[in-house]
Chain A
């Protein structure tokens, strides 16, 4: 089982560049999430989706956009990269009930210079 697959694993961007972080899951989960992990800060929710065509902001959405055209895919878009967006990004998926776990990808390490 592939689970949650994120690409790329590493990327270096220049300030002002744009890029899309890809996330795909093969578990037919309705719920998908994007988090960022900064050192010593735990994980912060950026955006989430409860199904195809439905997205909503999390705790730290500024500077990011998402779309959900299919159940499987949930890309995260950085339009104008800033040094503050240097972080490790994790995608996750779940069935959505509070008592069910989220399944995480291996992350994308992004540096903006």
Chain B
């Protein structure tokens, strides 16, 4: 079946540090891949997506590349800010009914 594995958190960084959050997946066929972000007390918001192999999704300085050969979709940002503190979820969809399969989430804490 489909599954998503994310690195355990929390990830604690100082402002302006480089961020990587690992995400690997198991799926049949060619899933679409997503990163969602959840700020405290809010629902999930789409951060970026990639719909085919080698696609790079990007938004707000965050990037992730769809690597089919390693079944990965790692999230990166060159310089994090305090305002990036949130929980980040990797997810995939390939059922034809857009039923997302989520990872367990990774909490990011950025200190000044």
List residues of chain A with CB under 8 Å of any chain B CB: 4, 31, 33, 40-43, 45, 48, 50, 58, 90, 92, 94-107
Contacts and interface: CB of A to CB of B under 8 A. Distances in A.
Given A106-B41, A106-B43, A107-B43, A98 B102 contact: no
B99 A40 contact: no
Contact of B43 (A4, A42, A95, A97): A4
5 contacts: A40-B104, A92-B44, A98-B98, A102-B98, A104-B45
Given A40-B104, A99-B32, A104 B98 contact: no
B98 A42 contact: no
Interface residues of B, number: 25
B34 A101 contact: yes
Contacts of A4: 43
Interface string B29-55: 001101010000111111001010000
Interface stretch (B12-20, B70-78, B87-95): B87-95
Interface of B: 31-32, 34, 36, 41-46, 49, 51, 89, 93-100, 102-105
Majority secondary structure, A binding face: loop
Contacts of B34: 101
Given A98-B94, A105-B43, 18 more contacts: A42-B102, A43-B102, A45-B100, A48-B97, A48-B99, A96-B97, A98-B32, A98-B98, A99-B32, A100-B98, A101-B34, A101-B49, A102-B44, A102-B46, A102-B98, A102-B100, A103-B46, A106-B43
B98 A96 contact: yes
Contact of A43 (B45, B89, B94, B96): B89
